[in-house]
Structure formats: C-alpha cells, structure tokens
C-alpha cells in the first residue's frame, strides 16, 4: 500500500521535514478514503496506524454503557488521528467513526516505530510533531473539563 510518492504527501504535520525524512514517511504511507459509518479503529484494538486527515470528519467516541455513546472530539482536515501507535501497549483508547467521508494519508505505525528507533533524528522530528498534536488535544480536553460555557 505505501505509494512512495512524496509529491502526494501534503499535510501540516509534515511541514518542514527534510527530503530524506519525507522519503522515509513516504515509504510507509498511502492515501485512502473511508466512508460514513466506517470505523478507522476501535477501542482496545492494536494501534498500528496514524491518519493524517485531508478531508471529512472523524468522531472520537466511546460507548459509555448506560450513558450511551459519547463523542468527545471530532477531527477534520489538517488534523491527525492516532498517536496510540507510539506508546506501549499500542492499543486504541477510543473508537474512530467516520461521520463524513474521510480522506487521509495513512501511516504504518509499526514501520514508523522501527524507523524512529533506528534513526533518532527522524524519531525526534516525528515525536516533536506528534507531541504538538497531543499537547493541543490535551489543551482542548482541559477546556472541555473546565466547562467554559457555564
């Protein structure tokens, strides 16, 4: 599935990467499209991918049992879905359900793990970018907790 085609890999997460690192990304990336209602991942499943979204909307949600399904965030163009592939035990913490057809660059997380372990410069660049994603998601979650419309 990887296309190896760096011309087609365009996403804010990858801005500023060197050609060498882009080639490494391209070696384990491919474009894909997902239809409404499809699950990109389910809670507890093995997390082996990241999705760099270029169109559509993906809901991050959890089935709260008696509370029903709760959506806590939606991701769209320019967002990134998936950082569970980075950290052990590499399992998804949320369900990712397509609300509007999603177009995304899919990254093979297992291949990325191997490459970042072998090339620490690459690993640093990658973790810097994913840390920013995690940071902004954390900030949004904190604001939701603060109940800012109360």
Partner 1 sequence: MTTAQLRSEPMLTTPTRVLARTQETADTFTIEVEPPPGFSFRPGEFTMLYVYGVGEVPISISGDPDRTDTLTLTIRAVGKVTEAVGRLQPGDPLGVRGPYGVGWPMEAARGRDVVIVGGGIGLAPLRSAIYEILNHRADYGLVSIAVGFRRPEEILYVDQVHEWRQRFDIDLELTVDTAGDTWRGPVGVVTRLIPMLDFSDTAVAMVCGPEIMMMFTARALRDRGFAPDNIHVSLERNMKCGIGLCGHCQYGQHFVCMAGPVKPFSQAERLFGIREL
Binding footprint of partner 1 on the chain (CB under 8 A): 57, 59-61, 68-74, 76, 78, 97, 99-100, 140, 143-144, 146-150
Are 92 and 84 a contacting pair, CB within 8 Å?
yes
Nearer to partner 1, 7 or 147 (CB): 147
- Closest separation in Å from C-beta 95 to partner 1: 10
Q: Is the CB of 92 or the CB of 122 nearer to partner 1?
A: 92
Tokens (6 digits) for 56? 């559509």
Shortest Å, Cβ 142 to partner 1? 9
Shortest Cβ distance from residue 105 to partner 1 (Å)?
19
Choose between 63 and 121: whose C-beta lies nearer to partner 1.
63
Q: Which is nearer to partner 1, 19 or 147 (CB)?
A: 147
Locate the DSSP E strands across 22-94.
Answer: 29-34, 39-41, 49-63, 69-76, 80-81
Residue pair 85/47 in contact by the 8 Å Cβ criterion:
yes
Q: How far is CA 120 from CA 71, 123, 136, in A?
A: 36, 5, 24
How far is it, in rounded angstroms, from Cα 26 to Cα 3?
A: 7
- Which is nearest to 34 in space by CA: 97, 110, 79? 97
CB of 97 to partner 1, least distance (A): 7
């Amino acid at each position: 599935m990887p296309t190896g085609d760096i011309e087609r890999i365009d996403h804010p997460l990858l801005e500023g990467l060197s050609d060498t690192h882009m080639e490494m990304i391209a070696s384990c990336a491919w474009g894909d499209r997902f239809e409404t209602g499809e699950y990109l991942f389910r809670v507890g499943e093995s997390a082996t991918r990241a999705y760099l979204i270029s169109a559509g909307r993906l809901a991050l949600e959890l089935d709260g049992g008696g509370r029903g399904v709760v959506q806590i965030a939606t991701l769209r163009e320019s967002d990134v879905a998936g950082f569970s592939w980075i950290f052990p035990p590499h399992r998804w913490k949320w369900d990712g359900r397509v609300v509007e057809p999603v177009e995304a660059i899919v990254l093979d997380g297992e291949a990325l793990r191997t490459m970042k372990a072998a090339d620490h410069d690459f690993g640093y660049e990658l973790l810097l970018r994913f840390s920013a994603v995690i940071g902004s998601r954390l900030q949004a979650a904190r604001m939701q907790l603060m109940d800012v419309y109360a």
